[in-house]
Amino acid sequence: MVSLDSLSARQIVTGVSKGEFSATEVARAALDAISVRDGEVGAFLQVSGDLALAAAARVDAARRAGEEMPPLAGVPVAFKDNMNLLGTRTTCASRMLASYQSAYTATCVQRMLDAGATPLGKLNMDEFAFGSTTDSSAFHPTNNPWDTARVPGGSSGGSAAAVSAGELTLALGSDTGGSIRQPASLCGVVGLKPTYGMVSRYGVVAFGSSLDQVGPFGRRVEDVALAMNALVAGGRDPHDTTSQACEQDFLACLDEGCEGRAIGVIPALLEAEGLSDEVRAAMRQAEERLVGAGARIVEVELPNMASAIAAYYVLGPCEAFSNLARYDGVRFGYQEDGCATLAEQSALSRAHGFGAEAKRRQLLGAYLLSSEMYESYYLAAQKVRTLITADYQRAFAHVDALLMPTSPTVAWEHGAISDPAQLYLADIFTISSNIVGNCGISVPVCLGADSGLPIGAQLQGPAFADARLLALARALERSCGMEGLVAPAFAGRGGELG
C-alpha cells in the first residue's frame, strides 16, 4: 500500500491521470490522515469532506470521459482561514467572525479548484494573521508536528503544520511580514511568498493591504511550483487592482540549477542579536552547498535592513486599523446583545470580539495615524520603505538572489515567549521583502545540531523573478537532501491508498 504522504503533487496527478488510483481514493486517504493525525496537531479549523469528495468525483468523471486532466488533478489542498470558500466559514481564527459563512470564493482558492485540486478545508492561523505562533487563534493553538509541545510559527501555522504532518500535499497561506516563510522554516517544509501582485488577494481578508501576499506551502519545491502555475493561470485578476499579469511557467526552468549564479550574503546578519548558533551554522552550511552546486557567493549590504522591523510595525498596524474598522458589530462581525445605544453596541462588540493582539495592533494603528503622530511615524516609515527598496535594487544589480536565515531560532515551546516585542523579532529576517514587495522562499536545509528540529534557509529575489528563485531553491533543496520531509512522528499514520 502507498502512503499519501510519500507522494509528490506530480506523482498524484500522474497516478490519477493513468488510472493507477482515483482522485476519490486520494481524497479519502487525505481525510483519513486528517482524522488520525490532526487531533495531535490541530491544524484544521474546518474539514470540508463533502466539498473534497465532490471535487474528486468531478475529476474522476472527467477522466472516464476521456477529457484532459487538469494540472493539479486530485491533489489535496487546504486554505488558511482568511480565504473565502463557498460552503465553508471564513473566521480568521477570531471570535469576531466565528459564524461568518463565505459569501463567495477567493480568486486564489478558485484557481486551485479550477486546476483540479481537492479542497479539504480551512486551516488555523493567528487571529486576523497577527502573530508568529498560531497561539492567538480564538479557537485552539496549533502544534508543531516535529514536537507538539512547540509552536508551528505563524501566522500561517495551520498551513505549515498540515503539510508537515502529511495531512495534505499543498496548502495556501498569506504572508504579510513572514507568515508563510517563518512557519515553513519551523515545520520543515517549503514556503513561498511570491512577488506582491503576482497572486490575487481578492477574497482574502485583508491585514496590511500593501504588504499581504498569498503563497503556497509544499514538502518539495516542485510542488510549490505546480501550485504557482495554478495560482497565476488566467492572468491578471480584474477584481484586485494590485494584481499583475504573469507569463512565467514555474516548472519550465525549475531544473536549471545554480551554476554560475551569484548568491548574495550579508555578513552582518549572521551576527544579529537573537540568532541561535545552530541557525548560524545552518546558514554557513547552506552557503557551502550552493557553492558546491556551482553558485558564487558575493558579499553585499542592505544598510537600512535594521530599520525594516520598526517601519513594518508602523505600516502594518496602520493598515490593520483601517482594514478592521468594518468589524463594528453592525455591518460585520460579532454583535453584542442588550446594548442601550449603537455606540455602546459597537464598543462592546469590538471589545469582546477581538483578542488581545488584534486590539493591540488596532490601537497602535489608531495612535500612529492621529494628526499629531502621522508625520513622525507613518510618513517616516514610508520614507524608510523607499530607502530599503533602493538598498535591494543596488544589491540585485550584482546578485541573482540573497541568502539569509528565515527564522532566528528553531521552533520554541508554547508560552516560552510572552513579550509581544520579542515575538515580533521572530520575523526580523522576513519583513524587509514584504516592505519592498520582492519574492522570498524558505527551504529546509538541515536539522539543528542541538535541537534536532528543522531549520530553513531563506532565498530572496527581485520582483517578478519568482521562477528563477524557485530554480535556485530547487538546487539548494537537492544539495541539502531534505526534500519531501514529513515529521517523523506522523509519517505513515493513516492516509494509505488502496
Is 280 exposed, middle or buried (CB count within 10 Å of its CB: 0-12, 13-18, 19+)?
A: middle
Does residue 317 contact residue 368 with C-beta atoms inside 8 Å?
A: yes
Which among 155, 159, 346, 442 is annotated as catalytic? 155
For residue 312, report the phi and psi dihedrals to the nearest 5 degrees: -60, -40
Burial class (CB in 10 A: 0-12, 13-18, 19+), 18: exposed
Catalytic residue among 8, 48, 80, 136: 80
From its phi and psi, is residue 234 left (phi > 0), alpha (psi between -120 and 50) or beta? left
Told to judge if 179 belongs to the known catalytic residues of this protein, a careful annotator would answer yes
- Active-site pick, 179, 200, 346, 407: 179
The alpha-helical segments, DSSP class H, found in 77-156 are 107-114
Q: Which three cell numbers stand for residue 37?
A: 493525525
CB-CB contact of 4 with 25 (8 Å): no
Site of grid cell 477584481: 239
CA distance 5 to 36: 13
- The C-alpha cell at 420 is 509581544
CA distance 161 to 219: 11
Check if 99 is active-site. Answer: no
In angstroms, the CA 59 to CA 76 distance is: 12
**Residue 18 a catalytic site member:** no
Catalytic annotation, residues: 80, 155, 179
